[in-house]
Structure formats: structure tokens, C-alpha cells
Structure 1
């Protein structure tokens, strides 16, 4: 048997990565549907629930770089399969929660699980499985497939919550988390692919290269707003619609619409990323999100306006993932891609904490989300303009380029 014959087929790796990320992100983006029943069932406040979501996101952010470093050095399969197990533990903790402490513990385990199974490792596995000239389109395609989770999971879990106790919804999530483990095994076949032709480097060199690259620092800082806007919406949109007198099913339908349209939106972002500068596309995406959010929140929501809003946001939702992942690969190669994506993701998750917990605190204080969405819109415009004007390649004699030892792949 030849060496080529023993190599895993890229299609298996890509299918596993897309399935794993679809399940993990689909559950994560549907957790906001549990806010109304859990706050009524176990006497939580909105801030209590969103604190658990904030713990999830900050844990995810803090764990992402170490998990990425572990996967880069010791293989991705073990890290990703461990993530499925951690997801199950997190959902079991949510199942037995009777107050904010155990709910926060659940959030911590889910955060660790997402560091092992969500965008950073899934996109790194996908990028290593294909040639560089196909990378942007493939990342967009995997990101598009991953959106199927939100499209399918959100309406199913809302139907479960409407008919039965919220415990049944959590049990459903435990089954989905268990299904992530075989998908992670498939994606982990990337460990058998030939390593990128890049010089071995110490972790200090990897981090130093990223932290002295202006394009990376600008991109990572703007990534803060991505976390802030998206987690605010997934966590608080169902509750916002409920206090506006809309059907609970509308929130689930909106999340499903976001996931469905994002199937095309992520693929389209990857297609554009192969043809236009990724840093400009990222900036336009952040500004566009802010415009769409403003148009929706300045008037009372209706079913029609909510679905239209969800469709527009779906075009702009996870398209950031193939663009950020592709730009990191352009700047630094794929050998340490998981580590470097992890560094940027810390900033992203700080934004997620502000979006989730900050939104809950604002709602509890003012009984309105007005100040929250206005803050998110303002930050989005600032981030978008900064990304476009400052996030491009470093010109000769200005700033510093990534170290050539890490470029390639």
C-alpha cells in the first residue's frame, strides 16, 4: 500500500468537522430559548441565566489558546473527542441545576467543550485538509454546513419546551452532544495528513509573531464586537420577543432562519474571501450588522420584521469564521493556526461576556434592551471602520510583518 493510499480522504475530515461544529454551535446558539422556562421554574433572574452564558463564553475564550496549542502539538483527534465528553458533562450539570451556581458550572464545562469542538479547531482541521488555493472556499463551505445545526435544533428544542418540562430539552441536548464524539473522530483523521512545510517554533515565537503583527491585532480587537453582537442576540432575542408580546415560537423561528440563511451566507463569505481582501470584507460585515440591528430595534417587532431581520443577520452571521480563519492562515500558515486563532478568540469571548451578561444586567436595571442594542451598534461601526482602515497588510517600512519562520502551509 502506498503512502498516498493510507492518507485519509479530505471529505471524511470535512464532514466530521462540519457535523461536530454544527451540533456544538447549534446547541450553543439555542441556549437562549431556555431563559424564560428556567427563570420561571427555578426562580432565576435574567442576569443569573446570562451570567452562566458569560461564564461559558469566558471559559471558552480562556481555554481556546491552550487547547489549540495542545492540538497543534499532540494531535486534534484527542482534543476534539474530549470536547464531546465535556459537552455531555456540561449538559448534565444544567440538568440538575437548582440555582445560579450549578448553572454557572454547566456554563464552564460547555465553554471548555466548545474550545475543543467549535470554530477554531474545526476550521484548522478543514484548512489542513485541502490545498491553499481551495482553502477560502472550503472554509466557507464547512462554515455553511455548520449552520444546519441552528436551523434544525432551535425549532425542535422550542417545540420540546412548549410541550414538556425544560429538563426534556436538556436531555435532547445530551443526545446531540454524544453524537459529536464520532464526528470528532472523523475530523481527527487530519492528524494523519502530511504536516505543513513550516519550521518548528516555540510557543513564545508563535505568540510573539502574532502580538507584533498589526493586521492580527486589529482583526482580534474587532473580533470583540463579533462576540458582543452575536451572543447578545442569541441570548436575549427570545426574551425580547416575549416581553414584546410575541409568540415564544417566533424566537426559535428567528434563530432557525438565521441558521438557514447563514448556510448561504457562510459559503458566500468564503467565496468572496478568495477574490477580495478578507480584512475589508470583515469590516464591511461588522458595519452591515450594525445597520441591520438598528433598523430592527428602532420599531416594535412583528413576526414579519423579525423573520426579515433574522434572514438579513443570517447573511452576516458566521461568515466571519471563514474570513478570520482564512486571514490567519494567510498571515501565519496552518502549522500553528489553532493556537493563533485561540489568541484572537480570547478577545472575541470578552465581547461575548459583555453581550450576554451585560445585556442581562441592562435589562434587569432598565426593563428594556434599548441601551444594550445601541451600545452594540456603536461598537460595530467603530470596529468595522478600524478593520477596513487599519487591518490591511503591513506596508514596507511600516510596522512589522509576521515572522517568516511561521508563514506558509
Structure 2
């Protein structure tokens, strides 16, 4: 007489893979979309309080730097204890920073809120944590696609939230607009609950953090990724924060500036998704080299041709297609090199390099504008860095590190 095993119980809907991916995408949309709108607040806040643009630029640059510094720590905690707790804490700190920023009247308050609190909050409520969770939820064959979906969700946030921020700004002023964004940020908390749970190390030998870090930094291809992602951060942060002011400085309307950022986000939805799809079929390193080379070409054309509404919109769409399309490929290579056990931490370190670039891009934009009255020097630095990134990805070896398998 045989006893049949009980049929496996179906997962509750909030544990189903599609629901988890949807919640993670919504969280990434809100987290990335809100901070993508910060460039809209540079001019009105600086004008009201009589600040030079470097004051706002330093606060956002510090935000980017702290985001990068805290990202590997948040990633290591998520790798050990699961993503849900990290994302929840990050969302609450993020919202607190927005509420305080809404009442900032001094450079110190702006630095505390937009710089420190939002920087730490976005590290915890980061799409990097979401993407690391996705690598554990889907098969290796579908991983690049899932990373593209998650990155595209962040892009959709920029496409949706920037025009919404401009509407709030026009209707209620900058302070109330930031307060509304603070309440919207709290919606990330229930999204984080869907990503709870500890990662598994089945079929993989447990590895300490120290061993994982040593292994990674001895891997030349990992260091090439770190160097290349620095350039991505420089480009994205400089354009995101300073493009609206650059457009209005050239005599065009502020509404066009908001739509330009939104169009970057719209193009990014397509670019990030297609990057994820193509990364599953073709060499990731060659795709990355092509993306960075294309950025240099697009920027060169934009700054050498006469500026107009058409040129702004064309540039925004083109750079949007190349915007975060680097993320699925870069994060996919990290997972390919080392597996998923320490994925959030190791990608967090690569992302730290991205944020050092972001810090310099935002700060240099504000500094050189205040000194020279122009963004020209920083635009040309962006072109040179794009060429460097195109070259540095070429020698990457797309191979996994061999490790003994765990038994049981």
C-alpha cells in the first residue's frame, strides 16, 4: 500500500512571481521617477532664496554620492536578510527627506534633506535592490529580460513623474509639490512587502562577504565594469539635473524642459527593455561599448547644432534610448560572473562607481556654470568619457567563475 504525497499548495497571490515582479516594478517606478524630477526644482528654489546653482547642485551631488556609498551596505543586508526590510526602511527615509526638503529654506536644510536623507533613502529603496531580487526569482535564461523589465519600470517613472512634478510645481509651487511627492513615496512601503523573504544558496557553496569581495576585485572584467559604469553615472546625473536649466538658459520655455526629461524617460522604457532582450541573445560587452559610443555621438550632435524645440526633443528621445539601457547589461554581467548569492552587494559596488560619476557630473555642471556662465566644458567632458567607456568594456571576458557546487 502506497501513500501518495500531498499535492503542493498553491502560492498566495502576493507570492506569485508575476505579482512580485509587478510590485518591484512599481517600487522602482516611484523611487526613480520622483528623484528624476529634482532638476525641475533647481531654478525655482535657487531663485527664491538667492542661491547660486552650485548650492542645489552640491546637495544633489551629495545625494548621489551617499546613494552610492550606502548601496553596497544595503545590498549586503538584502543578500543576507532579504530585500523587503531594506526597501521598507529606505522608502520611509526617502519620504522623510522629501517632507523636510519641502520646508528647506537654507543650504544646510537642503543638504540634509535632498542630499543626506534622500540619498540614504533611495539607496535602500533602490532599483538595484529590486533587480537583485529579480535575479533570484527567474531562470537564468529569462534573467536578462527580467532585468530589462525592472529597469524599464524605473524609466517609466521618469516618463510619468516628471510631467506630474511640473504640474504640481505650476499649480501649487515647489514646496507643496515636494510634500505631495513625499506622500506618493510612502506607496513604496506596501510594494516592499511583496519582496520579503531570504535568498537561498541552494546548489551554491555558501560564501562569506570577505571572500566574495576578494574574488570580485581580483576579477579584471569586474573592474572594467566598475570603470565603465562611472561614466554612465556622470552622463545621467549631469543631464538629469542640468538639462532643464540649460534649455531655459537658451531661451526656451520651462514646460519644454519638463517634457524633455519625460521624453528621456519614455525613450528609456524602450531602450531598457530592448537592452534586456538583446542582452539575452548577444554579447553584453559589445552592446555596452556600442551604447557608450552612441552617447558621445548624440551629445556631440546636440551641442554643435543650433538649439531649438525640435533639437531638444530629438536629443531627449535619442539619449533616452541609451539612458539606463546600460543597467540590464551591467547587472547581468555581474550575475553572470559571480552568481546571485551576493548579487545585491556586488552590483552595489559597481553602482557606487556610477554614483561617484553622478556626484562629479552634477557638481561640475553647477561649478562650471557659476564660474564660466556655460555648460560647454561639461558637455565636452561627457563626450570624452563616453569614448573612454566604449573602449574599457571591450576586453571584458563574459565567463562565469567556477565554484564547487553545494550538496543537498
Instruction: State the TM-score bracket (shorter-chain normalisation).
Output: over 0.9
SS in 2 for 1:96: coil
Would the aligned equivalents of 2:93 and 2:121 in 1 still touch at CA under 8 Å?
A: yes
- 1: CA distance between counterparts of 2:306 and 2:193? 46
Q: CA deviation at 1:313?
A: 1.0
Give the whole-Å Cα distance in 2 for the aligned partners of 1:81 and 1:320: 26
Partner of 2:259: 253
Q: 1:367 aligns with which of 373, 387, 402?
A: 373
2:82/2:198 contact within 8 Å kept = no
Query: Which of the numbers 47, 54, 59 marks the counterpart of 2:66?
Result: 59
1:353 is the counterpart of 2:352: no
Shift of 1:134: 0.7
1:148-159 alignment runs, 5 A limit: 148-159=156-167
Q: Which moved more, 1:292-301 or 1:357-366?
A: 292-301
Which residue number corresponds to residue 138 of structure 1?
A: 146
Instruction: Give 1:397's aligned residue.
Output: none
Q: Secondary structure in 2 aligned to 1:404?
A: coil
1:43 partnered with 2:42: no
1:4-403 → structure 2 map (5 Å cutoff): 5-6=10-11, 8-106=15-113, 107-186=115-194, 188-189=195-196, 191=197, 194-388=200-394, 390-393=395-398, 402=401
Q: Which runs of 5+ in 1 are unaligned?
A: 395-400
* Compared CA separation, residues 123 and 406, structure 1 to 2 (3 A): farther
- State the shift of 1:32 in Å: 0.5
2:127–2:150 Cα contact (<8 Å) kept: no
Quick one: distance in 1 between partners of 2:405 and 2:78?
A: 17
Unaligned runs of 5+ in 2: 1-5
Per-residue deviation, 1:374: 0.2
**Structure 1 321/294 Cα, relative in aligned 2: closer, same or farther at 3 Å?**
same
Q: What is the Cα deviation at residue 91 of structure 1?
A: 0.5
Shift of the 79–406 alpha-carbon distance from structure 1 to 2, 3 Å rule, reads farther
Structure-2-length-normalised TM-score: 0.94
User: Is the 1:85–1:178 contact (alpha carbons within 8 Å) kept by the matching residues of 2?
Assistant: yes
Q: TM-score, normalised by structure 1?
A: 0.94
Distance of 1:183 and 1:232 partners within structure 2: 30
User: How far apart, in 1, do the equivalents of 2:228 and 2:8 lie?
Assistant: 43
SS of residue paired to 1:5: coil
Structure 1: how far apart are the matches of 2:239 and 2:72?
25
Contact preservation (8 Å) 1:44, 1:99? no
Rg (Cα) greater in structure: 2
Q: Provide the aligned C-alpha RMSD in A.
A: 1.7
Deviates more, 1:120-129 or 1:140-149: 140-149
* Residues paired across the two proteins, number: 398
After superposition, give the CA deviation of every residue in 1:141-167 in whole Å (9 maximum; x if it has no partner): 222222211111111111222233211
Q: For 1:356 and 1:196, how far apart are their aligned partners in 2?
A: 42
**Do the aligned partners of residues 368 and 19 (structure 1) sit closer, same or farther apart at CA in structure 2, a change above 3 Å counting?**
same
- The question of whether the paired residues in 1 share the 8 Å contact of 2:90 and 2:120 is answered with yes
Q: Is the 8 A contact 1:213 1:402 kept in 2?
A: no
Higher mean C-alpha displacement, 137-146 vs 149-158: 137-146
